Amino acid sequence: MQRIGDAPAVRRGLIAVALLLAGLFLLLPLVAIFAQAFAEGVAVFWTNVSDDYTLAAIGLTLFVTVLTIPICLVFGVALAWLVTRFDFPGRRLLQTLIDIPFAVSPVVAGLVYLLLYGRNGWIGGWLDAHDIQLMFAWPGILMVTIFVTSPFVARELIPLMQAQGSREEEAAVTLGASGWTLFRRVTLPNIRWALLYGVILTNARAVGEFGAVSVVSGAIRGETMTLPLHLEQLYQDYNTVGAFASAALLALLALFTLAAKAGLEWRTARQEVSP
């Protein structure tokens, strides 16, 4: 059957325009990152990447990300379970509240944490008196990272779990399954891909967060500099190649994220065809 836009001329024209635009606005920046990173050769790139400060930044970034993911995962699953399996007053409100991190500019997110936990904040004052330091140390970076990444897992799970409904789970309960078994055997297999997708998004954002982290980091070289902050400092230091070397690492991670996501989509699509 002939469908709208199937005429060969229209088709070719639209594909050409789409590829051209995508190439210009998406592919070109990506190519530029790597071109800049390797502008002075592989050796210089390697020197920059294996620099002590860069390694420390990579270490901190990974450390914060590794801690962020499980926390967001537990919260996301709990929240999704709560709002899709039970009806209670305030359900809608709760669902809107988790969007706060999307509405708050990251700089403001960092600021509100600083105002609360900094030396002059009402919790921070107490902490300072007891010699506990959260801001300007890795716990502060972790806290704001959790804040900005908290909606991702829940947002992926809620529509899916809503669509799937709870009949399977109810049946399992009738058959006498306990809570944990129910979750592990019935719910988890149904949501695992969405869950993984949520983790991938969380991971991408946690690794790349700049605005919020820059406010609470304190920028101590080798101590509280994450990779995006380190990149910015190198850029400020006239070390364009070094900055883009770090940018290339982050871009590489982004590409890995995209590949993982594409892989997941492909699997899900296959599952839909042959359930």
Partner 1 sequence: MIRHPRLARPLLAIALGAGLAAPAMAAERELLNSSYDIARELFAAINPEFIAHWQETQGEEIAIQQSHGGSSAQARSILQGLRADVVTFNQVTDVQVLADDGLVAEDWQQALPNNASPYYSTTAFLVRKGNPKGIDGWEDLDDEGVEIVFPNPKTSGNGRYTYLAAWGFAEHQFDGDEEQIQAFMRDFLGNVVVFDTGGRGATTSFIERGIGDVLISFESEVNNIRGEYGSDDYEVIVPPVSILAEFPVAVVEENAERNGNQELARAYLEYLYAEETQRLLAGFNYRVHDEAVVEEFAEQFPETELLKVEEVFGGWDAAMETHFASGGLLDQLQRR
Partner 2 sequence: MSQRAARLALPLPARTQRVLPGFGLSLGISLTFVSLVLLLPMTGLVGQLKGLSLAEYWAIVSDSRVVASYTVTIGAAAVAALANAAFGLLMAWVLVRYDFPGKRLLDALMDLPFALPTAVAGITLATLYAGNGWVGALLEPLGLQVAYTWVGIALAMAFTSIPFVVRTVQPVLEDLPPEVDEAAMTLGAGDATGFRRVLLPYLWPALVTGTGLAFVRSLGEFGAIIFIAGNAPFETEITSLMIFVKLQEYDYAGASAIASVVLAVSLALLLAINVWQGRFIRKLHGGRG
List of residues contacting partner 1 (CB under 8 A): 52-53, 55-56, 59-60, 62-63, 66-67, 114, 118-121, 124, 128, 131, 133, 135-136, 138, 218-223, 233, 235-238, 240
Helix (H, G, I), strand (E, B) or coil at 87: coil
Question: Residue 243's closest CA among 109, 49, 68?
Answer: 49
Q: Is the Cβ of residue 5 or residue 43 nearer to partner 2 in the bound state?
A: 5
What is the per-residue binding string for partner 2 in 2-41, x denoting contact by CB under 8 A?
xxxxxx--xx--xx-xxx-xx-xxxxxxx-xx--x-----
Least gap, CB of 155 to partner 1 (angstroms)? 25
Residues 6+ apart with CB under 8 A from 50: none
Least gap, CB of 131 to partner 2 (angstroms)? 22
End-to-end CA distance of the chain: 28
Region binding partner 2 by CB under 8 A among candidate stretches 49-57, 125-133, 134-142, 247-255? 247-255
Q: Taking CB within 5 to 8 Å according to partner kind, which of partner 2, partner 1, none is near residue 119?
A: partner 1
Q: And the tokens for 245?
A: 């070397």
Q: Is the Cβ of residue 80 or residue 106 nearer to partner 1 in the bound state?
A: 106
Q: Does 131 bind partner 2 (CB under 8 A)?
A: no
Q: Does 271 bind partner 2 (CB under 8 A)?
A: no
Contact 130, 124 (CB under 8 A): no
Q: Does 194 bind partner 2 (CB under 8 A)?
A: yes
- Please, what sign has the CA dihedral across residues 186, 190, 192, 195? negative
Site for partner 2, residues 99 to 118, rule: CB under 8 A? 99-109, 111-113, 115-116
User: In which residue are the tokens 């709990």 written?
Assistant: 78
User: In which residue are the tokens 């359900």 written?
Assistant: 91
- What is d(CA 235, CA 242) in angstroms, rounded to the nearest whole number? 7
- What is d(CA 183, CA 196) in angstroms, rounded to the nearest whole number? 16
Region binding partner 2 by CB under 8 A among candidate stretches 46-54, 62-70, 126-134, 169-177? 169-177
